Amino acid sequence: MSSVNEDYITSYIRDITPERTEQLKILEDYARENNVPIIEPEVGQLIKVLLKLHKPREILEVGTAIGYSALLMAESLEGDWSITTMERNPQMIARARENFMESGLEDRIRIIEGDARETFPHLTKEYDFIFLDAAKGQYMEFLGYAKNLLRPGGLIVSDNVLYKGMVASDDLVVRRKRTIVNRLREFLEYINNMQGYTSSVLPLGDGVALTYKEENLI
């Protein structure tokens, strides 16, 4: 499963996690059959709780893939919300677009096509909730933009930050992943010491970091 938690812990949490809706289950099957990485059920459940507590209106996601997490988030949002999601892979974009149309959410979920490192500088709107779930080695770059676009009182959720446990232990690091691991370590140290922000790293799924921007920060 992953090296972040013992398999029996992950299995147990998954067993008690409620079933997803029919559409999400179909997307989970598609993702499994086509090797598309999507958020784990327990991480999805955490995000749902955070959205219900935080009640964001403007959400930004980096890493759409087939639109699974965007649609999962949509289920927990109420009132006047919108999701902007960034993706660079044309096949993923086409599939996500179809999935958003199928749910009738194409007007509420907007895809920004292209490499987020190039499209981020064009964003000017502020967001209440930002979900980072794209190339792990680029989180520091994404954060540079995300910080400035996040409203005071807003939250950044970053997925896969413990990367199969490698980030926490040199014994697990495989050579070809060394650069990504070092970048993730730099990212985690940075968010934990960022002035005006409070962060927490959770050993859930592949590791999730929560970063809260203080209300009085401009």
Ligand X SMILES: C[S@@+](CC[C@H](N)C(=O)[O-])C[C@H]1O[C@@H](n2cnc3c(N)ncnc32)[C@H](O)[C@@H]1O
Asked if 103 and 73 count as a contact pair (C-beta separation under 8 A), the reply is no
Minimum CB distance to ligand X smaller for 3 or for 138: 138
Q: What is the rounded CA–CA span in Å between residue 133 and residue 139? A: 9
The single residue among 57, 117, 177, 185 that binds ligand X, judged by CB under 6 A, is 117
The single residue among 47, 60, 132, 135 that binds ligand X, judged by CB under 6 A, is 135
116 interacts with ligand X by CB under 6 A: yes
40 interacts with ligand X by CB under 6 A: no
Q: Give the x-and-dash track for 141-180 against ligand X (CB under 6 A).
A: ----------------------------------------
Phi, psi of 112 (to 5 degrees): -105, 115
Stretch near ligand X under the rule CB under 6 A, chosen from 86-94, 149-157, 164-172, 198-206: 86-94
DSSP labels for 111-177? Answer: EEES-HHHHGGG--S-EEEEEE-S-GGGHHHHHHHHHHHEEEEEEEEEESTTGGGTTT-GGG--GGG
199 interacts with ligand X by CB under 6 A: no
Stretch near ligand X under the rule CB under 6 A, chosen from 52-60, 63-71, 101-109, 169-177: 63-71
Least gap, CB of 144 to ligand X (angstroms): 13
88 interacts with ligand X by CB under 6 A: yes
What residues numbered 2-31 form the site for ligand X, per CB under 6 A? none
The single residue among 42, 81, 84, 87 that binds ligand X, judged by CB under 6 A, is 87
What single DSSP character describes residue 198? E
- Which tokens go with 190? 């940075």
Instruction: Report the alpha-carbon angle 127-194-62, nearest 5.
Output: 35
134 interacts with ligand X by CB under 6 A: yes
38 interacts with ligand X by CB under 6 A: yes
Question: Which H or E run includes 87?
Answer: strand 82-87
Residues with Cβ within 8 Å of 60's Cβ and at least 6 positions away in sequence, in order, are 83, 84, 85, 86, 123, 127, 129, 130, 131, 146, 149
Give the residues lining the site for ligand X (CB under 6 A). Answer: 37-39, 63, 65, 68-69, 86-89, 92, 115-117, 133-135, 138
